[in-house]
Amino acid sequence: MEETDFLIVGAGFAGLETAIQLRRKAKVASITLLTKEPHLVYTSWLVYLPAQHKQFDQCLIPLEPLAKEHRLRLLVDTITMLSPEEHQTQLAGGERICYGQVVIATGSLTRREAILGGKTHALFPCDVEDAHRLRERFLALSQGTVTVIIARPRPGPGLEYAGWMAKSVQERQRTSSIRIQLIDTQPRLMAHLGERAASLLEQIMSTLGIRLLTGQPVEEIAEQEIRLQDGTRVASQLTAVLGSLQGRIWDSSHRVSMSRALSVSMTASRAFPTPISSRWVMPPPCPRQTRSRKRWGWDANRQDSSRTTSSLRPRANHSKRFPGKSCARTS
């Protein structure tokens, strides 16, 4: 049986940041990072996949070099049993680990049932699998309307998906047969970004030929159309919903054996429970994917160089902003 002082389940930005900060505080402690894949997916770049401006392998950050740099034991496996009172976990590969503290950082799930019909008739490209499906279906579409629905407080990913797909339609000279529309439940983009940024974005949308619908929540998503709350129906042959997210609940339905009741909400950038000691372990602030890890040209949000995760970003070509507009950075 392997022993470790700290077991971190999940190697996304939250889990990786927690592991790195633990290493800084505990120089000699043994830290094990458990992950399903040997790489971290830089999800902010998934918006480029439908437009073919990046390939999926360019969105991957290998974990092995980071684990070696920070003296972390990297395990690529999944948990089949977690016993908090015994401080043990069983892995699918057969290995059993005895730990002192456990941090659950497995991220959030997409709320596919948040909109009626969304689970059946929409894609949720916040999930990697749906991001791939969106790319395949978008490139295969010969005629029709593609709809992007902003269903969460931060509009950035939805705006970028719509913008890059509209840019792709222009590049492929398919503007007469494929239409992009963006639905935002807020009365105007200003509700998210402020008057000046909203006006600029609306100009960009117009330049790219994007139809912008605001102020009406989506009531239902059907196979070939979307029904808004006021009864309006709009055609949509391909629908993508950006959001919303919910914490993951670990219980017996997840094949995790627990000797006492434990309901754990695990969301990136939040607190992670340690059921062993019944106290909260607060990892350092982890930047949000859109606001901190990818900066908009017209948004004055700054990268905090003191945050480790900011150094993990793949190198970007900063000459490429949101398609259709060149915006200088604000100081």
pLDDT in tens, 161-206: 999 999 999 999 999 999 999 998 777 666 667 778 888 888 888 9
Domain 112-242, CATH class in plain words: alpha beta
pTM of full prediction above 0.75:
no
| Cα 144 from chain centre | 27
Q: Where do the domains of the chain lie? A: 2-109+245-312, 112-242
Architecture of the 2-109+245-312 domain: 3-Layer(bba) Sandwich (3.50)
Question: Which three-class secondary structure state does DSSP give residue 311?
Answer: helix
In CATH terms, are 2-109+245-312 and 112-242 the same topology? yes
* CA–CA gap between residue 49 and residue 59 (Å, rounded): 10
* CA–CA gap between residue 129 and residue 313 (Å, rounded): 21
Which tokens go with 210? 């994007």
pLDDT in tens, 264-289: 333 333 333 333 232 333 333 334 44
In terms of Cα–Cα distance, which of 203, 212, 202, 201 is closest to 150? 212
